[in-house]
Structure 1
Amino acid sequence: MKLRLMAVNLIFNGNDLLLMKRAPERLLHPSMWGAVGGHLEPEELSDPLAACLRETEEETGFRPDDLTDVRLQYVLLRLKEDELRQQFFFTSATHRRDYTDTREGTLHWIHREEVLREDREMAFVFRALLAHYFEFGPAPHPWVGTAGWSEPKEGQGPLEGQRPLKAQGPLEAQGPLEAQGVDQALPGIRWIPLLDPQVI
């Protein structure tokens, strides 16, 4: 299994969030909406904040001293085929609204009430993370999220881009959720607070 490590910065200016409409030739999520960020370099493996600040400056022109209240808010784990993806999501604020152009895509300040618009195409994990942050953040501690399948609650519909998973075929050909009797599941994220238990 391969490992992909990424650091992301959710940059706010008042009630506006800086989002990127990714270029169509990008490897990950082409033409979709995302945040500023990218892969950790080998020397950054023990310092995701350094990767976050480097990617922010490369993609926006914002230097570290242009940002305030930079904090880790989420660690997100997702299995994508044979690749384990771990993303460190930081939040920050800036007084600047001007940014430099980037080949990664086009940057836009979006009011928080417009961020999760249904016609704004984005990865389901990113949409779910933003929905969680807008409801519970900013938090005094980071959250850890694991992406997977979950049985929908009564009256709950799929998020944008989600499709139910239905059990088909004999039991031995079914996945673990189906084998447990779950005949319909939706992609989702389970969140738990990351806290120091203060024990050895």
Structure 2
Amino acid sequence: MIRARMMATAMLFNGNDLLMMKRSLTRTLNPGMWAAVGGHLEPEEINDPRTACLREIFEETGLQPHEILDLQLQYILIRLNQNEIRQQFIYTAHTARRDVLQTDEGVLHWIPREQVLQRDIPFIFHTLLAHYFTNGPAPHIWVGSAGYDSSKQPAVLWTPLVDPLMN
């Protein structure tokens, strides 16, 4: 049986630094690895991933919605992980302050942009960060589907999400 999991994630910047969490070794998903702030959508948030993203930001950092500037959906990632289809909504934003709370999910650090990709990051998120750092904020949403390239290496295929009926 194939199951579905929906998540919302925030890449939060302050100046040139990205807020990253070194995940606790007790976490089920990617223990000990570096990640952005985020989590699963609650049932009432299925049609509103932005609300889920703001909730996760608050739960994991203590940052209030008014302290999150220019929250924009930039990516939707889709991947098959065993018998689970994972759909992740990734937002970018800037923060009005750097002081954040710490939770039992991991330890938060502000990482200079030029050091981010040197961390131990899950493949799909590493690929997303490399794409974002190369392309920057886009006027459209990128959709990434995980799979393999022509040489059978893990890859993410990026496609701009556009309405084909709009000019």
TM tier, smaller:
over 0.9
Runs of 5+ consecutive residues of structure 2 not aligned to the other structure: none
1:193 aligns with: 160
Off by >6 Å, runs of 4+ in structure 1: none
Per-residue CA distance 1:91-142 (angstroms, 9 max, x = gap): 000120000111110000001000001xx21110000000000011201111
Alignment of 1:67-86 (within 5 A): 67-86=68-87
Report the RMSD for the aligned CA atoms in angstroms: 0.8
DSSP 3-state at the match of 2:162: coil
1:23-172 equivalences under 5 Å are 23-117=24-118, 120-152=119-151
Please give the TM-score of this superposition, normalised by the length of structure 1: 0.81
**For the residues of structure 2 that align with 1:81 and 1:196, how far apart are their CA atoms?**
31
After TM superposition, the score normalised by the length of structure 2 is 0.97
**Structure (1 or 2) with the greater strand fraction:** 2
The alignment partner of 1:50 has SS state of helix
**Higher relative contact order (CA closer than 8 Å, sequence separation 6+):** 2
Query: What is the number of residues matched between the two proteins?
Result: 165
- For residue 108 of structure 1, what is the amino acid of its counterpart? H
SS in 1 for 2:121: coil
Among the aligned pairs, what percent are the same residue? 56
CA distance in 2, matches of 1:95, 1:47: 24
Distance across 2 between alignment mates of 1:148 and 1:44? 27
